[in-house]
Amino acid sequence: MDLAYLRAHPAQLPTFLTHQRIRETPVSGGDICAASRLTLDDGHSVFAKTWPERAGQPAPDGFFAAEEAGLRWLRTADAVRVPEVIVALPDLLALEWVEPGEPGPEAAERFGRELAALHRAGAPAFGADWTGFIGALPQDNTPDDGPWSRWFARRRLTPYLDRSAANGALTASGIGLVEEVIDRIAEFGGDEPPARIHGDLWPGNVLWAADGGAWLVDPAAHGGHRETDLAQLGLFGGAPYLDRILGAYQEAWPLADGWRDRVPLHQLHLLLVHTALFGSAYRDAVDRAARAALNGVGRATVDR
């Protein structure tokens, strides 16, 4: 099987894998999926993702279709590099292989400009036309005209607060803090029309490549607020050269007044996803983000 044959007959890939007709090398694929590098007969490689057997059940309906739709939608902006989808099946996704490299300041600045271009491509509404997932959890992508603040509270904060409360990940005081953020969401300012965003842009979903560029992987893409992508880049240790990324972004498309004070608000979504998925290990991070958001709400609205 070579790349041309694979493009023409994508449904044949599982059969070739089952009969060990393709060299398969496990690679790091994150916390959810099993991932491998497939080396084809012509020397090309592809990156394959499957639902892991350890899960004990099949992938949720639409799981890989959501990632496929998001990748294709991000690619149509012709802004940031996004791997091409080569095979999209209900239980398998195969993508263009990207040779890993090291980040550098010039690549970071280029990425900042490219991310601004991606966001400028826009979206017809908040949400998307496909069923959403973030990690292994469903994400409500029902298209919504906004305003952003109301949509964000309803679709991106409340569902994961409810899941985190139900699984005991948050204390009563932590739940109360997030509820206060939700109740005061209109006070934060910064409402904008929907941008075309990655939606799960923690640093691990930026692939720094050997060609000197940055690629976006594992999206939860939808129409959202551009500050959400930028805020998520600061989570879990932060992206390399984050100041360079943000500086170049600001030069390409300046952010609204008060954006720094809204960073914890935007980070709260992904942190609540983590308490919903992984439990109390992320409890303190949620509490800190909610407190910081509330502390900054007055400063964020000064220049409105």
| Residues annotated catalytic, as ranges | 200
CB contact set of 55 (below 8 Å; sequence gap of 6+):
none
3-state secondary structure of 19: coil
Residues with Cβ within 8 Å of 133's Cβ and at least 6 positions away in sequence, in order, are 60, 62, 63, 66, 67, 139, 220
3-state helix, strand, coil in the chain (%, to 5): 45, 15, 35
Number of H helices, E strands in the chain: 11, 11
Nearest residue to 271 via CA among 254, 289, 256: 289
Among residues 101, 84, 85, the alpha carbon closest in space to that of 93 is found at 85
Give the torsion through C-alpha atoms of 278, 204, 285, 289, to 10 deg: -130
Under DSSP, is residue 98 helix (H, G, I), strand (E, B) or coil?
coil
Q: Which residues contact 67 (CB under 8 A, 6 or more apart)?
A: 49, 93, 133, 218, 219
